[in-house]
Structure 1
Amino acid sequence: MSSTGTPEIDTAELESLRAAAEKPLRVAVVASRWHTQVMDGLIAGSRRFLTQIGVEDITLVRAPGSFELPVLSAAAASEHDAVVALGVVIRGGTPHFDYVCQAATDGLLRVALDTGVPVGFGLLTCDDEQQALERAGLEGSQEDKGFEAAHAAVSAAVEAARLAS
């Protein structure tokens, strides 16, 4: 696993994001239902980041699976300033993994480009469950991809609003 190059998110940056938002942000967290333990960690990490920067309007939307993340993210984008898409796909013995990962990835990109609403990419694409647990932000995990995806979505939303003004 490589987290090399991951930017540090310090308190000053959190304060800067909080101050830069000219209005209260509305953020949707769209999360798959598969792999409950991993998803619980990803959702908690997203909420932790959003709470730290003072976002109060957080809507949790549960998707049946990662394949459905794009359509639900598109629906959420119409009423939110940012979307955090969270899911996990674990490789199996068939090409299903490749199809779901590619479709979800392409779909989430399309949502962001078509709506102009930033989508934080929190889709874990892992070879096994242990890799997913290491990225889930749980106690003992090496990474917190839910926190990182929420950070990316909000940072992009704040920057896009700045560019539009």
Structure 2
Amino acid sequence: MAGFGEPGSAPVDAAGLTVGVVAARWHGDLTDHMLDRAVAAAQACGARAVVARVAGSVELPVVAQALARRCDVVVALGVVVRGATAHFDYVCRSVTDGLTRVALDEGKPVAHGVLTVDTIEQARDRAGLPDSAEDKGWASTVAALDAALAVRQVATSANQRVGFGT
């Protein structure tokens, strides 16, 4: 947790947009809460949520891609806690690379709401629980919706000149 620099996560006006939320069941006590917060954020922004569940974080990208094909934005939620082997590194890279690929291939915002932490206590501090310092389910959803609005704005201003000399 950086503890500084967060742009804020106040609701945006995303009326009419659909958010696909895919959440891992691994560490369900945390991901269930993160999912609830993501759905609440979508509703607060005026968007509709479609929810899918998968076993673990490695399965998030493929379902995120399926959701990206029918939703305006996708939010992927999971928890990966470092262990004593290199498995943590492989899972984190696979999930990050996969979610990035989905966003670029589908041209849709895909929020990376996967907690990659050293301890379960760090995960609890980011999961949006009543005593948590951060709320990644909420913040990831608002960020994805904000990005969708920016993409929409860029698309609608495509005929306008931007940059130097305009």
Distance in 2, matches of 1:141 and 1:71, equals 29
Distance in 2, matches of 1:92 and 1:42, equals 22
Please, what TM-score do these two structures have when normalized by structure 2? 0.90
Shift of 1:9: 3.2
Alignment-mate amino acid for residue 102 of structure 2: V
Query: Percent of pairs identical after alignment?
Result: 46
Alignment of 1:16-165 (within 5 A): 17-18=12-13, 21=14, 24-55=16-47, 57-165=48-156
Question: Deviations for 1:5-54, whole angstroms, at most 9, x for unmatched residues?
Answer: 111234xxx3xx31xx4x61011001111001110221122112111111
CA RMSD, 1 decimal: 1.2
The structure having more radius of gyration, on CA atoms, is 2
Distance in 2, matches of 1:40 and 1:63, equals 12
Alignment-mate amino acid for residue 137 of structure 1: G
Matched, 1:9 2:1: no
Corresponding residue pairs, total: 156
Please, what TM-score do these two structures have when normalized by structure 1? 0.90
| Aligned partners of 1:120 and 1:151 also within 8 Å | no
Distance in 2, matches of 1:101 and 1:122, equals 12
Q: Where do 4+ consecutive residues of structure 1 move more than 4 Å?
A: none
Structure 1 portions without partners, runs of 5+:
none
Distance in 2, matches of 1:45 and 1:94, equals 31
